[in-house]
Structure 1
């Protein structure tokens, strides 16, 4: 099952936000949130998980590159496509954007299809990189192999498909809390037969496998709004 990707569009032009939103949701591959300012974007992107962000460089309150730096400092790992103005300064803008953490820069005006293709390409590249081994606490996590390897002992822990998917999603979220409903949506999809009890059961079994101290939640933490990983 293929789930919708969640995209945040940040631009002070309401017409462009609406047009981009319509383009992204037309084939049900994306769900869209929008923000008109850098401050709003920072609030949304650091409080929740997005699969991609489209960010205008010329926001009314905070320079787009500064927003980029703050997002990367807050461990927002998803692809961020920076929209820059075509002109004499476009090359300098692109260099500044890439230095601040942009995954790609696209100059305005652009063709909607070209921007959608760029976002999809960045998502595919990001997903391939996420399949690489990453560090989670005392383990090396191989998402594609659905295994954790204890770095000190070499012991290999096998994970189920759902356990690996939960870890992958929480890892991509950095240190942000992910709600139960968002985990259910992205790991199981929209399914009336799946409840939060199912998720809690999987979390319980996953903790029994990965927590260094049995009975203590030091890696996979329960918060008031959901769950987060301590990386």
Structure 2
């Protein structure tokens, strides 16, 4: 299974925020990050190398309007899904939130199961959108276009569909190694004609494309009977 996905919850209602944290952690699918104000949310997002896959954002915060904060994030080029929570389901209120750049709008009180379903749906849509960009070592990975960009060298590496799918799944897994058979099934499906040798061949070719030294992998590691992506690259291995 993929590793837990970091979700920033911005809400000054301690009871509701704690409930959301508990529910998000329940299945091990998400890793909630808490903020009780706009200022605190900005601090969380400003942490070096922070990864946030989505934001659940309340409208009424002690130091600002969540919709204004959403619009500010969009102006900064932040594209991950943002779901706004509000005490009002008035049409004009909803339109204002969507116009601010929110992907979805959920009125309180709401069912936790419905919120989680909407969150998952938005994450799926985002991963397949042109806006999805994941940092991997010196690269910016764009799954939708199957491209790795290396800004420092101003070059682009084109990936095959399977290579992009391998990177995407390993990135989702965080720092956990994924067994060969699991990765094979996720990328190729349960196809009896495809063996782990096929996967190993794709891993070899992928390393030739992305590793500074393919013989000493620092990004795509062999570990625990499978493979693990090290998005921070060689710097992490040397630290």
Report the TM range for the smaller structure's normalisation: 0.5 to 0.7
Give 1:190's match in structure 2, choosing from 176, 188, 193.
Answer: 176
CA separation of 1:29 and 1:73: change in aligned 2, threshold 3 A: same
Task: Report if aligned partners of 1:39, 1:62 keep a CA contact under 8 Å in 2.
Answer: no
Task: Report if aligned partners of 1:162, 1:187 keep a CA contact under 8 Å in 2.
Answer: no
2-side partners of 1:189 and 1:160: how far apart? 23
1-side partners of 2:8 and 2:132: how far apart? 25
1:53 corresponds in structure 2 to 55
How does the TM-score come out when normalised to structure 2?
0.60
CA separation of 1:130 and 1:12: change in aligned 2, threshold 3 A: same
Aligned CA RMSD, in angstroms, stands at 4.0
Unpaired stretches in structure 2, ≥5 consecutive residues: 134-140, 150-154, 178-209, 215-231
Task: Report if aligned partners of 2:2, 2:172 keep a CA contact under 8 Å in 1.
Answer: no
2:19 corresponds in structure 1 to 19
Task: Report if aligned partners of 1:81, 1:104 keep a CA contact under 8 Å in 2.
Answer: yes
Please report how far the alpha carbon of residue 146 of structure 1 lies from its aligned counterpart in structure 2 after TM superposition: 3.7
2:228 corresponds in structure 1 to none
1-side partners of 2:72 and 2:165: how far apart? 27
1:218 corresponds in structure 2 to none
Is 1:116 matched up with 2:137?
Answer: no
CA separation of 1:203 and 1:39: change in aligned 2, threshold 3 A: farther
Please report how far the alpha carbon of residue 186 of structure 1 lies from its aligned counterpart in structure 2 after TM superposition: 4.9
Please report how far the alpha carbon of residue 158 of structure 1 lies from its aligned counterpart in structure 2 after TM superposition: 4.0
1-side partners of 2:73 and 2:130: how far apart? 18
Task: Report if aligned partners of 1:45, 1:76 keep a CA contact under 8 Å in 2.
Answer: no
- Partner SS state of residue 83, structure 1: strand
Please report how far the alpha carbon of residue 49 of structure 1 lies from its aligned counterpart in structure 2 after TM superposition: 2.2
- Partner SS state of residue 63, structure 2: coil
Task: Report if aligned partners of 2:56, 2:83 keep a CA contact under 8 Å in 1.
Answer: yes
CA separation of 1:142 and 1:75: change in aligned 2, threshold 3 A: closer
1-side partners of 2:213 and 2:174: how far apart? 17
How does the TM-score come out when normalised to structure 1?
0.61
2:6 corresponds in structure 1 to 6
2-side partners of 1:156 and 1:56: how far apart? 39
2:68 corresponds in structure 1 to 66
How do 1:51-200 and structure 2 match up within 5 A?
A: 51-86=53-88, 90-130=90-130, 143=143, 146-147=146-147, 157-159=157-159, 186=172, 189-191=175-177
1-side partners of 2:109 and 2:117: how far apart? 15
Please report how far the alpha carbon of residue 3 of structure 1 lies from its aligned counterpart in structure 2 after TM superposition: 2.2
Task: Report if aligned partners of 2:8, 2:32 keep a CA contact under 8 Å in 1.
Answer: yes
- Partner SS state of residue 129, structure 1: coil
Task: Report if aligned partners of 2:9, 2:55 keep a CA contact under 8 Å in 1.
Answer: yes
Unpaired stretches in structure 1, ≥5 consecutive residues: 134-140, 150-154, 170-183, 192-201, 207-221, 227-231
